[in-house]
Amino acid sequence: MGKHAAISYQPRLMGASEAAAYMGISETKLRALSIPRRLMDGRRLFDRIDLDRYASDLPYEDDKPGENTCDAAFD
């Protein structure tokens, strides 16, 4: 059996590779963003709450929340 138990949910703190996968972006892009990291035992970890907050603060397409501009092209 491995060192850690398998989990079926996203952990609260993640390394860069896990955080990038969670966000759906590359590690390079993740490191270029202004998302703070937490320190634990000398490791720099991303907090899922900070990742979610960053994603939630991104603007919607055309800055009009809820409007789907693709649908307008087919009217």
2 within a domain of the structure (yes/no): no
DSSP class of residue 13?
A: E
**What is the per-residue pLDDT across 20-74, written as a single tens digit (0 to 9) for each?**
999 999 999 999 999 999 999 999 999 999 999 999 999 998 766 556 656 666 6
Decide if 64 is inside a domain: no
Q: How many domains does the chain have?
A: 1
In whole angstroms, give the CA distance from residue 51 to residue 43. 17
Given a contact cutoff of 8 angstroms between Cβ atoms, the answer to whether 50 and 14 are in contact is no
Q: What pLDDT, on a 0 to 100 scale, did the predictor assign at position 47? A: 98
Instruction: Reply yes or no on whether the pLDDT at 75 is more than 80.
Output: no
Q: What is the pLDDT of residues 9-30, one digit of tens each?
A: 789 999 999 999 999 999 999 9
Give a yes or no: residue 74 inside a domain.
no
pTM of the model: 0.71
Domain of 27?
Answer: 13-59
Residue 46 lies in a domain: yes
